[in-house]
Amino acid sequence: MTTLQQTWDLDSIFQGGARSEAFEQFLADLAAKIDDFTQGTDALPTSGGVDPWAKAILALQDIRARQRQAAAFTECLTAADTRDERAKGLQAQVTALSGRINAALAGFDAKLSQLDEASFRALLEDERIAPLRFPVEERRRRALDKLPPEQEQLIAGLMVDGYHGWSQLYDTIVGGLTMTVEEDGEEKAISMGQAANRLLTPNRADRSRLFQRWESAWQSREDLCAQAINHIAGFRLEVYRRRGWTDVLREPLEINRMDRETLDTMWSVIAANKAPLVKYLERKARLFGVRRLSWHDVPAPVGKSTSRVTYEQARQFIVDHFGQFNPEMARFAGRCFDDRWIEAEDRPGKQSGAFCTSFPVSRETRVFMTFSGTTSNVSTLAHELGHAYHQHVMRDMPVLLQGYAMNVAETASTFAEAIASDAAVRVAKEKDERIALLDEKIERAVAMLMNIHARFLFETRFYEERKRGWVPADRLNELMVEAQREAYCDALDEWHPRFWASKLHFYITTTPFYNFPYTFGYLFSAGIYARAQAEGPSFAEKYVALLRDTASMRVEDLAQRHLGVDLRKPEFWQSAVDLAVADVDEFLRLTE
């Protein structure tokens, strides 16, 4: 089998990495387009004059594509090497340009809200804009919900250093954080991304020692992390206060194009159906020979499967089983491996975690992770390739119709992960292997229905306290443990107080409440996956149609159109939860 390279190719996007002259010119061109757009916005009429409005919207679409292209490139550079100061400088430039775009958009949105109704309706009927009706109407509606333009422009400008800057500081803190481990009798410093992989060791004594070092490492940075999370939340809350928004979930719900009723129904169904997961945690504790699990035990593997998976084997497995659902999905995944669209090498200096990012101008994607040869790594690869496929099927659509929200973005990724996970269980020949794979699947259900629930509970309560003033690190630790106890039904005996410091998602300023959309996507995809199993290969075309609609309607309408279900009612969520934990009974039987 041909050895695949595990480092990605960014030169096909902009040659030269952080020293790319082509990228510098790209940024200069983007800056000029922003200036032209800003100047043109001032001249837009508030009645009549459909043509200048149509041209402005098309210019906005071009700027958005270029902004995403630039942000994706610097995101890739800094993730692959957290010590690359030049890349960080470029990222700061892109952030500054994004701030200018947001400031320009504040003026554009103000004009759009002032456009008289007759002219606005005429604009929507223009053949250039008619295909973009949903995002244009959405922009106008959101604009009417904000402050006067000069105030929104001021906020957008202040966000660069007073808001997004704290997120970048957090990245710097994490990028420089290391943890020492013992290898071959010597102490060795590893990145937190590498440490996260090592915490999955099946040896509980080793895992316990690693977890104590992990917790201590984050404790050494908790004051800095507390500064970052408090300032991010404080800035966000002050903006909400000025806009008259009293509910901290108002913005994340709007961004995810979903109703509060849908979110509340989802969480209430989850909260009422955790008993099977508690049984799983109790059985896992018995298998580990302890009364109750510790935090580090939850994702730890059960079973004697210690087989390693090569990168080449991971490629073959994913491509083969994607192909059983949809040959086109398999061909695309193979291309991602073969054309080096994946950064998977296990080395120091990389950012922790995994992500997929898109380059709309180039119509390509890139996947980032650290591959160490575990079956969990294979699932992560499948997950991120699901994201990539989602973008792939939308690559020919107008950029303004590619802006799907995070909750439906997780649908495609979780669907792809389910294909790989179910396939792994099916082909397993040994009982221990099957137990290990079922454990891995159920642990993902625990992550989505318990871990993410804890994050959501923590963040909502943290924001309520932050409204009243500064929340110090020790109180953040208390809030986190309280949320974990509730979300896990108090089924563990050791918690992770500094999880708030270790989880990047709390520091992402572009997307508030980077938690509940994961659970939504997980359960939404469970329903879609069940439909795919029932209908067979013929569902692939319907699946692509659903993905292509993800940025063109609210999620309640998306589910009604393509699945015929009402997300505000508990029935869909109950069926999805039932499917998500369906493996528990088999796990309990095999481990009796």
Give me the CATH number covering residue 60: 1.20.140.70
Q: Confirm whether 82 is domain-assigned.
A: yes
Q: What contacts 99, CB < 8 A, 6 or more positions away?
A: 156, 157, 159, 160, 164
Distance between CA atoms of residues 446 and 124, nearest Å: 45
Which span out of 100-109, 196-205, 216-225 was modeled with the highest average pLDDT? 216-225
- Residue-wise pLDDT for 514-555, tens only, equals 999 999 999 999 989 988 888 888 899 999 999 999 999 999
Q: What percent of the chain has pLDDT over 90?
A: 78
Q: Confirm whether 219 is domain-assigned.
A: no
Instruction: Specify the pLDDT at position 327.
Output: 94
Q: Where are the alpha helices (DSSP H) in 301-368?
A: 311-325, 327-338
Distance between CA atoms of residues 432 and 587, nearest Å: 11
For the segment 388-402, the average pLDDT, to the nearest whole number, is: 96
Domain extent at residue 23: 17-162
Q: What is the DSSP string of 98-153?
A: HHHHHHHHHHHHHHHHHS-HHHHHHHHHSTTTGGGHHHHHHHHHHHTTS--HHHHH
SS3 readout for 215-274 = HHHHHCCHHHHHHHHHHHHHHHHHHHHHHCCCCCCHHHHHHCCCCHHHHHHHHHHHHCCC
User: Which residue pairs from 445-448 have beta carbons closer than 8 angstroms and sit at least 24 positions apart in sequence?
Assistant: 445/277, 445/580, 445/581, 445/583, 446/277, 446/280, 446/281, 446/298, 447/299, 448/518, 448/519, 448/522, 448/523, 448/580
Residue 261 carries which side chain, given as an amino acid letter?
E
Instruction: Specify the pLDDT at position 537.
Output: 86
Q: Confirm whether 584 is domain-assigned.
A: no
Q: Confirm whether 112 is domain-assigned.
A: yes
Residue 588 carries which side chain, given as an amino acid letter?
L
- The single-letter DSSP state of residue 305 is -
Q: Confirm whether 68 is domain-assigned.
A: yes
pLDDT bracket for residue 392 (50, 70, 90): very high
Output the CA–CA distances (angstroms, integers) from residue 440 to 226, 378, 379, 444, 486, in the order listed.
32, 11, 9, 7, 23
Short-list 265, 406, 381, 254, CA closest to 316 = 381
pLDDT bracket for residue 302 (50, 70, 90): confident
Q: Confirm whether 31 is domain-assigned.
A: yes
pLDDT bracket for residue 86 (50, 70, 90): very high
Q: Confirm whether 240 is domain-assigned.
A: no
Question: Is residue 124 over pLDDT 80?
Answer: yes
Output the CA–CA distances (angstroms, integers) from residue 386 to 99, 243, 259, 557, in the order listed.
30, 37, 25, 22
Instruction: Specify the pLDDT at position 156.
Output: 84
Short-list 71, 77, 14, 4, CA closest to 333 = 4
Residue 427 near residue 398 (C-beta atoms within 8 A): no
What's the whole-number average pLDDT of the chain? 93
Q: Confirm whether 147 is domain-assigned.
A: yes
Q: Which class for 28: exposed (0-12), middle (13-18), buried (19 or more C-beta within 10 A)?
A: exposed
Question: Is residue 304 over pLDDT 80?
Answer: no
Short-list 389, 438, 449, 439, CA closest to 578 = 449
Instruction: Specify the pLDDT at position 1.
Output: 53
pLDDT bracket for residue 287 (50, 70, 90): very high
Question: Is residue 376 over pLDDT 90?
Answer: no
Could you give the number of structural domains in the chain?
Answer: 1
Q: What is residue 7's three-state secondary structure?
A: coil
Q: Which class for 309: exposed (0-12), middle (13-18), buried (19 or more C-beta within 10 A)?
A: middle
- Residue-wise pLDDT for 555-587, tens only, equals 999 999 999 999 999 999 999 999 888 899 999
